[in-house]
């Protein structure tokens, strides 16, 4: 299914939800806005599209990739007992690194 179809469905679902939102909650949404996190926050342009189609302010949570990857790194550490960490390489690009050079060469499942 094309991404534009999925974005259209997401936008319609948000608009439908806003249509049935009680007035007191709607005023909070207009004041604070919608917060996109996780994978939704990573879809480029979704915030702008929702803002344009709903008239509600839309914010994207900063550092969203690190928030998603950190549990993966923590799980990896528990499974392998490898000393690993998550480092920022560039904007929105991270690397999982280890101080143990053999850490990624041994089986861990």
Q: Tell me the pLDDT tens digit for each residue of 56-74.
A: 999 887 665 666 666 776 6
How is the chain split among helix, strand and coil, in percent rounded to 5? 55, 15, 25
What pLDDT sits at residue 58? 92
DSSP letters spanning 80-100:
H---EEEEEEETTEEEEEESS
DSSP at 102? T
Mean pLDDT of the chain: 75
User: Quick check: pTM over 0.75?
Assistant: no
User: pLDDT tens across 25-47, in order?
Assistant: 889 989 999 988 766 777 778 88
């Amino acid at each position: 299914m094309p991404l534009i179809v999925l974005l259209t469905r997401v936008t319609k679902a948000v608009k439908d939800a806003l249509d049935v939102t009680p007035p007191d909650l709607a005023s909070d949404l207009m004041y604070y806005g919608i917060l996109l996190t996780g994978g939704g926050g990573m879809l480029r342009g979704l915030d702008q599209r929702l803002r344009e189609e709903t008239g509600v302010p839309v914010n994207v949570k900063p550092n969203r990739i690190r928030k998603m990857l950190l549990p993966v790194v923590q799980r990896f550490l528990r499974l392998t007992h490898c000393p690993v960490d998550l480092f920022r390489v560039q904007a929105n690009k991270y690397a999982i690194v280890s101080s143990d050079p053999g850490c990624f060469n041994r089986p861990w499942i």
